[in-house]
């Protein structure tokens, strides 16, 4: 687990930060994936966990984040007292954890956050133990009590069944679940899974990010598409918010045909951003993509294996899927500021 704290990456936060603002008493178990992004499919994945005996509470399962994070309300319930606000100079460039502070890399850049020691996070049959976790103070509409990052999923397989409203965390396996097609990928040194994807005939590396409502792509991919005459269409702009509450408008483009294993998609709306997450993964100079829940949600379910690096997808039909933008995309005439 310690190696993941050295390169903690929060890859995709579109429109809101997946944290807890002020959460009430521990919640009873509810449907364990939630946050709809369109009427016929669920969005980001929530799982019930128990943190050092507190809970159950729902954590956002974020496979684009290498480190587990705890919401401020839960941290305080466990005896955490926030340190003084950092002045931006508390951590030297080569130090990740110092004086109960940590440099966390999110979509817009590094953010310094307070940390706490977590003895145990129970996730059904499995538990993650003895970790230093950043404490989140910002909140969104998810109701999540924190973020379950990939350092809590090492050598495990995350399985999500949208039709049954079911999530499972199980041991890594070499074989695909019954009825699933496999996209062979790899586990990055930061503990994140990277899989191949094809957009408009251009091959790219895609980070599988269950914490992202919308998919994103980098300028290098746009350049490759343009060079091949595969034009995207600018549809509008969307606001991105990072862990520090900083905001940035980013362009939303309609991409040409996408192939991800058994899934073929036309007219996908994705966000163009020169994201710090791409740089942190060493993908800034090649076509790269952040695979969000808008694409994953076109399957009946998926399994992401952190032992093998494989993504398994269950698809009912082989016909191309079509997806139109949600109401959060602004008019193309909108101007920054």
Asked if 207 contacts 64 with a C-beta cutoff of 8 angstroms, the reply is yes
8 with 155, same domain? Answer: yes
Same domain, 180 and 150: no
Domain, as residue range, for 141: 2-161
Q: Is residue 335 part of a domain?
A: no
% residues pLDDT > 90 (the chain): 45
CB 158 within 8 A of CB 169: yes
One DSSP character per residue, 254-313 reads EES-EEETTEEEESEEEEE---HHHHHTT-TTS-EEEE-HHHHTTSSEEEEETTT--EEE
Per-residue pLDDT of 251-293, as tens digits, reads: 999 999 999 999 999 889 999 988 777 888 889 899 999 999 9
The residue among 287, 301, 299 whose CA lies nearest residue 255 is 287
Band of pLDDT at residue 319, cut at 50, 70 and 90: very low
Question: Is pLDDT above 70 for 5?
Answer: no
- Are residues 205 and 302 both part of a single domain? yes
CA proximity to 324, closest of 286, 264, 269: 269
Q: How far apart are CA 97 and CA 1, in angstroms?
A: 14
Within-domain flag for 331: no
Element counts in the chain: helices (H) and strands (E): 5, 24
Tell me the residue length of the chain: 337
> Do the domain assignments include residue 210?
yes
Both 192 and 105 in one domain: the answer is no
| Residue after which a domain boundary falls, among 161, 196, 227 | 161
Count of other CB atoms within 10 angstroms of residue 48: 20
- Regarding whether 249 and 197 lie in a shared domain, the answer is yes
Domain count for the chain = 2
Q: Which of 89-93, 155-159, 170-174, 311-315 has the lowest mean pLDDT?
A: 89-93
pLDDT for residue 23: 39
Binning pLDDT at 50, 70 and 90, where does residue 198 land? very high
With a cut of 90, say whether residue 95 has pLDDT above it. Answer: no
Both structure tokens of 167: 């999530």
From residue 247, alpha-carbon distances to 225, 250, 290 in Å are: 28, 10, 19
In a shared domain, residues 150 and 8: yes
Report d(CA 211, CA 209) in Å as an integer: 5
Whichever domain contains 32, its CATH number is 2.40.70.10
Distances (CA, A) of 128 to 87, 123, 217, 223: 32, 8, 32, 41
Worst-scoring range by mean pLDDT, 34-38, 130-134, 200-204, 233-237?
34-38
Domain membership flag for residue 88: yes
- What span, in angstroms and rounded, lies between the C-alpha atoms of 151 and 139? 22
Q: Is residue 241 in some structural domain?
A: yes
* Residue 227 falls inside a structural domain: yes
For 124-166, write each residue's pLDDT tens digit: 888 999 999 999 876 545 568 898 989 899 999 999 998 888 8
């Amino acid at each position: 687990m310690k190696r993941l704290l050295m390169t903690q990456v929060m890859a995709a936060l579109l429109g809101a930060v997946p944290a807890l603002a002020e959460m009430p008493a521990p919640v009873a178990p509810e449907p364990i994936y939630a946050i709809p992004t369109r009427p016929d499919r669920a969005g980001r994945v929530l799982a019930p966990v128990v943190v050092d005996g507190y809970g159950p509470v729902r954590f956002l399962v974020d496979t684009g984040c290498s480190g587990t994070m705890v919401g401020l309300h839960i941290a305080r319930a466990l005896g955490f007292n926030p340190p003084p606000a950092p002045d931006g100079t508390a951590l030297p460039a080569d130090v990740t954890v110092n004086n109960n502070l940590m440099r966390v890399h999110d979509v817009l850049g590094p953010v310094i956050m307070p940390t706490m020691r977590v003895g145990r996070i129970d996730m059904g049959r499995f538990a993650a133990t003895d970790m230093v976790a950043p404490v989140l103070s910002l909140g969104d509409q998810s109701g999540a009590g924190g973020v379950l990052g990939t350092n809590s999923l090492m050598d495990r397989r995350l399985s999500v069944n949208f039709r049954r409203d079911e999530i499972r965390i199980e041991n890594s396996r070499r074989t695909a679940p019954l009825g699933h097609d496999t996209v062979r990928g790899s586990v990055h040194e930061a503990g994140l899974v990277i899989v191949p994807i094809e957009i408009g005939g251009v091959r790219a590396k895609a980070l599988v990010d269950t914490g992202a409502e919308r998919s994103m792509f980098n300028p290098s991919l746009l350049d490759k598409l343009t060079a091949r005459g595969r034009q995207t269409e600018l549809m509008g702009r969307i606001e991105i918010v990072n862990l520090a509450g900083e905001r940035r408008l980013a362009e939303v483009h309609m991409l040409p045909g996408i192939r991800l294993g058994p899934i073929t998609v036309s007219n996908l709306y994705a966000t163009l951003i020169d994201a710090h997450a791409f740089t942190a993964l060493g993908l800034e100079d090649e076509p790269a993509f952040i695979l969000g829940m808008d694409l994953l949600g076109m399957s009946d379910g998926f399994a992401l294996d952190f032992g093998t690096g494989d993504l398994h997808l269950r698809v009912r039909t082989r016909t191309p899927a079509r997806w139109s933008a949600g109401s959060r995309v602004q008019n193309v005439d909108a101007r920054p500021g």
